[in-house]
Structure 1
Amino acid sequence: MNYENILVAIEERVATITINRPAKLNALNKETISDLSKAIKLLSKNEEVRAIILTGSGEKAFVAGADISEFANYTVVEGAQLAAEGQETLFDFIENLKKPVIAAVNGFALGGGLELAMACHFRVASDNAKMGLPEVTLGLIPGYGGTQRLPQLIGKGRAMEMIMTAAMISAEEAKQYGLVNHVVPQGELLSFTTVIAQKIIKNAPFAIAKAIKAINANFEDGKNGFDTEIKSFGKCFGTQDFKEGTTAFLEKRKAEFTGK
Structure 2
Amino acid sequence: MSDPTVLLERDGVRLVTEDSVATVTLCNAAKRNAQSPALWRALVEAGRLLPGSVRVVVLRAEGVSFSAGLDRRAFTPEGFEGEPSFDDLARAPEGELDATIAEYQAAFTWWRRNDLVTIAAVQGHAIGAGFQLALACDLRVVADDVQFAMRETSLGLVPDLAGTKPLTELVGYARALEICATGRSVDAEEACAVGLANVAVPAAELDATVKDLAGALLAAPRDAVIETKALLRAASGRTYEEQRVAERAAQGRRLRDLAGVGE
Instruction: Compute the TM-score of the two structures, normalised by the length of structure 1.
Output: 0.84
Is 1:46–2:52 an aligned residue pair?
Answer: yes
Contact 2:55 2:115 in 1 (8 A): no
1:229 aligns to 2:247 (yes or no): yes
Contact preservation (8 Å) 1:14, 1:198: no
Quickly say closer, same or farther: Cα 1:232–1:199, change in 2 above 3 A.
same
Whole-Å Cα distance in 2 between the matches of residues 188 and 171 of structure 1?
A: 14
CA distances 1:230-249 after superposition (whole Å, capped 9, x unpaired): 3222222233xx359xxxxx
Match of 1:111 among 128, 131, 148: 128
| Aligned alpha-carbon RMSD (Å) | 2.2
**Cα distance in 1 between the residues matched to 2:177 and 2:22:** 34
TM superposition shift of 1:220: 4.2
Q: What displacement does 1:82 show?
A: 3.5
Partner amino acid for 2:144? D
Alpha-carbon distance change, 82 to 128 in structure 1, aligned in 2, over 3 angstroms: farther
TM-score, length-normalised on structure 2? 0.83
After TM superposition, list the pairs within 5 Å mapping 1:75-224 onto structure 2.
75=90, 77=94, 79-87=97-105, 89-220=106-237, 224=242
Structure 1: 5+ residue runs without aligned partners? 245-260
Q: Supply the distance in 1 between the matched residues of 2:16 and 2:44 (Cα, whole angstroms).
A: 16
Q: Percent identity?
A: 30
Check 1:227–1:153 CA distance in 2 against 1; reply closer, same or farther (3 A cut).
same
Change in 2 beyond 3 A, CA 1:143/1:193: same
The aligned residue for residue 86 of structure 2 is 72
- Tell me if structure 2 keeps the 8 A contact 1:99–1:205: no
Query: How far, CA to CA, are the matches of 2:246 and 2:108 in structure 1?
Result: 22
Q: Tell me whether 216-225 or 20-29 shows the greater mean CA deviation.
A: 216-225
Which ranges of structure 2 fall in alignment gaps of 5 or more residues?
A: 80-84
Q: 3-state DSSP class of the match of 1:64?
A: coil
What is the deviation of 1:222?
9.6
Q: Is 1:13 aligned to 2:20, yes or no?
A: yes
Match of 1:56 among 61, 65, 68: 61
Cα separation, 2, equivalents of 1:222 and 1:30: 38
Matches of 1:97 and 1:33, distance apart in 2: 21
Q: Choose 205-214 or 75-84, whichever is displaced more.
A: 75-84
Secondary structure at 1:66 match in 2? coil
